[in-house]
């Protein structure tokens, strides 16, 4: 399948990239790793007249950890996230999720920025950004603005990003020392999007849950932050009944599609199981 025709641009600075997007208008799309966009162009679900390739914008390539704040440049690849030991120590859920995305070849090109900006409910990173309460930094012709990941997703493929804005950085506080985290994903095969998946971060104070955050992937037309479900865990000893109640509360906010991954009820059921497993793993890993 050969995609439609387009003009190719490869700016070498963020300012040039923003300038190109503004001057080319609606007909231009950004390309990062291309591993969501090119398949869509092959199917003519995307028919841009211009592609603006971000690979030479080196300022988007950095990973930084500074006094508890983590910043990931939009062009950091999933493979680079896996390779960063520093990142793994500070926030292990990032390596865990990356290993569950697609396959080695795709992770070499697929970027964190493309993954979170894409707006496909099947993408795994957005649920992680829900639990981490990440902030996305966007640069447009009028400068920079910030938006919470929890406010970013509107519906499938619709986000708060304007067409002329570039997502440059994803920023969040490293989870507290001693936290436990887990991302559990059910998929039919390697390289498949989730039937349902859950991200959980907890901190414990002795045997009591001191804080909790839960996110869900691919069980609605946006990633979900399961705020109520997580609040049920806080203050409890995470006994079986409480975990079950949290899973039920998470299931209650899902609205998955009936598709090749299974009927709606099945996917909702799986979402509950993913939540229970992710809580159990996270608690095991918490200190």
Partner 1 sequence: MSEININMTVNGQKIEASADPRTLLIHFLREDQNLTGPHIGCDTSHCGACTVDMNGMSVKACTVFVGQANGADIVTIEGIAQADGTLHALQEAFRQHHGLQCGFCTPGMITRAYRLLQENPSPTEEEIRYGISGNLCRCTGYQNIVKAIQVAAEELSVKEAAE
Ligand X SMILES: Cc1cc2nc3c(=O)[nH]c(=O)nc-3n(C[C@H](O)[C@H](O)[C@H](O)COP(=O)(O)OP(=O)(O)OC[C@H]3O[C@@H](n4cnc5c(N)ncnc54)[C@H](O)[C@@H]3O)c2cc1C
Partner touching 203 among partner 1, ligand X, none, CB below 5 to 8 Å by kind? none
Closest contact distance (angstroms) between CB of 4 and partner 1 is 7
The Cα–Cα gap between 82 and 85 comes to 8
DSSP 3-state of 232: helix
Residue 198 near residue 273, CB atoms below 8 Å = no
In the region spanning residues 93 to 122, those forming contacts with ligand X, defined by CB under 6 A, are 101-102, 106, 109-111, 113-115, 117-118
Closest contact distance (angstroms) between CB of 255 and partner 1 is 27
The Cα–Cα gap between 105 and 265 comes to 33
Site for ligand X contains 245 (CB under 6 A): no
Site for ligand X contains 123 (CB under 6 A): yes
The Cα–Cα gap between 137 and 186 comes to 31
The Cα–Cα gap between 99 and 162 comes to 30
Among 100, 108, 211, 236, binds partner 1 (CB under 8 A): 108
Site for ligand X contains 33 (CB under 6 A): yes
Partner touching 3 among ligand X, partner 1, none, CB below 5 to 8 Å by kind? partner 1
Q: How many residues bind ligand X (CB under 6 A)?
A: 31
Among 104, 141, 178, 263, binds partner 1 (CB under 8 A): 104
Site for partner 1 contains 261 (CB under 8 A): no
Adjacency order of strands within the sheet including 28-31: 7-9, 50-53, 28-31
Judged by beta carbon, residue 92 or residue 140, the one nearer ligand X is 140
Task: Find the distance separating the first CA and the last CA of the chain, reported in whole Å.
Answer: 51
Closest contact distance (angstroms) between CB of 121 and ligand X is 10
* Region of residue 243 (phi > 0: left; psi between -120 and 50: alpha; otherwise: beta): alpha
Closest contact distance (angstroms) between CB of 34 and ligand X is 4
Among 20, 63, 90, 109, binds partner 1 (CB under 8 A): 109
Adjacency order of strands within the sheet including 196-205: 180-186, 196-205, 208-217, 224-225
Residues that bind partner 1 (CB under 8 A): 1-8, 10, 31, 34-35, 38-39, 42, 51, 53, 55, 79, 102-106, 108-109, 190-191
């Amino acid at each position: 399948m050969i995609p439609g025709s387009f003009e190719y641009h490869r700016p070498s600075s963020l300012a040039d990239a923003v300038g190109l997007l503004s001057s080319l208008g609606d007909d231009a799309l950004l390309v990062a790793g291309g591993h969501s966009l090119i398949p869509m162009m092959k199917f003519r679900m995307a028919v841009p007249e211009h592609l603006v390739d971000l690979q030479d914008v080196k300022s988007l390539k950095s990973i930084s950890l500074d006094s508890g704040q983590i910043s990931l440049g939009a062009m950091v690849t999933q493979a680079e996230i896996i390779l960063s030991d520093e990142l793994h120590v500070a926030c292990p859920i990032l390596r865990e999720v990356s290993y569950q995305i697609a396959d080695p070849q795709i992770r070499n090109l697929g970027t964190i920025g493309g993954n979170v900006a894409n707006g496909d409910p099947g993408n795994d990173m957005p649920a992680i950004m829900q639990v981490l309460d990440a902030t996305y930094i966007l640069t447009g012709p009028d400068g920079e603005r910030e938006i919470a990941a929890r406010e970013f997703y509107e519906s499938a493929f619709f986000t708060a990003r304007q067409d002329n804005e570039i997502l440059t950085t994803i920023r969040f506080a490293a989870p507290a020392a001693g936290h436990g985290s887990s991302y559990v994903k059910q998929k039919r095969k390697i390289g498949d999007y989730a039937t349902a998946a859950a991200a959980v971060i907890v901190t414990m104070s002795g045997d009591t849950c001191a804080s909790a955050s839960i996110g869900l992937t691919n069980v609605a037309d946006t990633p979900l932050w399961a705020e109520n479900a997580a609040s049920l865990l806080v203050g409890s000893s995470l006994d079986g009944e409480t975990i079950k109640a949290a899973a039920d509360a998470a299931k209650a906010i899902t609205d998955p599609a009936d598709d090749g991954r299974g009927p709606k009820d099945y996917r909702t059921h799986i979402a509950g199981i993913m939540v229970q497993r992710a809580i159990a793993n996270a608690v095991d890993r918490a200190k």
